């Protein structure tokens, strides 16, 4: 349970950072970031593997770079839930997903 809470806090912090760095990603407050991190985690667990499987040929052709687009799609779908995080463009979703992915990866590796 502590590991889950830590990952949730890391992702929420990454979402707040994405809202700060990417002008087209708007985060209302800390509670919104926490709820968004929870929704994003659920979507990453269930929707992302399905999308990765369906887009496997494109991922192979692009040598894995299409995974960034899949992450952006999941990020954008998470913003459709009314939790207080909004993305104004697909470019914002791509940059927001990139920031969240990089920050979450680095934080998870340094804290383990």
Q: What confidence score (pLDDT) does residue 9 get?
A: 93
Q: What confidence score (pLDDT) does residue 102 get?
A: 95
pTM: 0.92
Return the number of other C-beta atoms located less than 10 Å from residue 88's C-beta.
13
Chunked into runs of 10 residues, the chain (112 residues) has average pLDDT values of: 89 95 94 96 95 96 95 96 93 95 90 76
β-pairing verdict for 25-27 and 85-87: antiparallel
The encoded tokens of residue 91 equal 């470019």
Q: What are phi and psi of 86, to 5 degrees?
A: -130, 145
Q: Largest alpha-carbon pair distance within the chain?
A: 39
Q: What confidence score (pLDDT) does residue 48 get?
A: 95
Strand (E) or helix (H) holding 19: helix 2-21
Q: What confidence score (pLDDT) does residue 1 get?
A: 81
């Amino acid at each position: 349970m502590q590991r889950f809470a830590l990952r949730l806090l890391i992702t929420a912090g990454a979402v707040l950072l994405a809202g700060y760095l990417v002008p087209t990603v708007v985060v209302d407050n800390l509670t919104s970031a926490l709820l968004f991190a929870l929704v994003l985690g659920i979507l990453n667990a269930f929707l992302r593997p399905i999308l990765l499987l369906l887009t496997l040929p494109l991922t192979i052709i692009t040598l894995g770079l299409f995974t960034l687009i899949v992450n952006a799609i999941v990020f954008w779908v998470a913003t459709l839930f009314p939790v207080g995080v909004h993305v104004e463009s697909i470019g914002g979703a791509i940059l927001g997903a990139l920031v969240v992915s990089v920050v979450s990866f680095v934080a998870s590796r340094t804290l383990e």
